[in-house]
């Protein structure tokens, strides 16, 4: 039985040293979300993706070290959601639409402009925690909630094209389920 996510003592503030850490990790920064958002506005897509994946890889490493191999999807989502909350990126839940895995993030302080960064963070975390290549694509945003679908990297370009062509997120999931994505 996998332990539930427990954030007790996860974040450590060493005021005398001017240092913040999570689970004994290297130093962290507490920065305003709007400052990070402004930085992302001027960064390239590749720069945002690289930065987000690095943040996500760190999250995924912590999740994998707590859970080990063979953890259930439910345990993985709970721990991933806990770590996402620890870094202040919102509250995570999951929906399964047939064979499609949809991640929901509520109250991300980055807002709509931060969805690309959030997707890259989740992508890096999933890749590291599950040791699988994955792509995470935002498919819908409504009232502070963003839906992101997890697909294999080869399918991600199809999903982005369908959405750009005006296919609804629901019909996109139907298309994913009708093929071997």
Tens of pLDDT, residues 128-138: 998 889 999 99
Q: What confidence tier does 180 reach under pLDDT thresholds 50, 70, 90?
A: low
Domains of the chain by residue range: 11-178
Does residue 44 carry a pLDDT above 50?
Answer: yes
Mean pLDDT, the chain, as a whole number?
91
pLDDT (0 to 100) of residue 112: 87
Q: Which of 39-43, 65-69, 144-148 has the highest mean pLDDT?
A: 144-148
Across 27-31, 35-39, 70-74, 79-83, the highest mean pLDDT is recorded for 79-83
Rounded CA-CA distance 37/110 in Å is 6
- Both tokens of residue 118? 């959030």
> What is 11-178's CATH topology?
Muramoyl-pentapeptide Carboxypeptidase; domain 2 (3.30.1380)
Rounded Cα gap, residues 6 and 3, in angstroms: 8
């Amino acid at each position: 039985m996998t332990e539930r996510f427990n954030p007790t003592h996860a974040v450590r503030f060493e005021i005398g040293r001017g240092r913040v850490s999570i689970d004994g990790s290297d130093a962290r920064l507490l920065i305003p979300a709007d400052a990070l958002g402004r930085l992302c506005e001027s960064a390239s897509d590749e720069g945002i993706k690289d930065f987000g994946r690095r943040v996500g890889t760190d999250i995924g490493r912590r999740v994998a070290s707590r859970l080990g191999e063979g953890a259930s999807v439910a345990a993985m989502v709970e721990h991933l959601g806990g770590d996402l909350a620890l870094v202040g990126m919102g509250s995570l839940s999951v929906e399964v639409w047939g064979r499609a895995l949809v991640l929901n993030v509520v109250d991300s302080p980055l807002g709509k402009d931060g969805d690309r960064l959030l997707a890259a963070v989740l992508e890096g975390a999933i890749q590291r925690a599950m040791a699988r290549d994955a792509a995470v694509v935002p498919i819908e945003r409504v009232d502070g909630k963003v839906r992101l679908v997890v697909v294999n990297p080869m399918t991600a370009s199809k999903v982005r094209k369908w959405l750009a062509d005006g296919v609804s997120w629901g019909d996109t999931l139907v298309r994913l389920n009708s093929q071997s994505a």
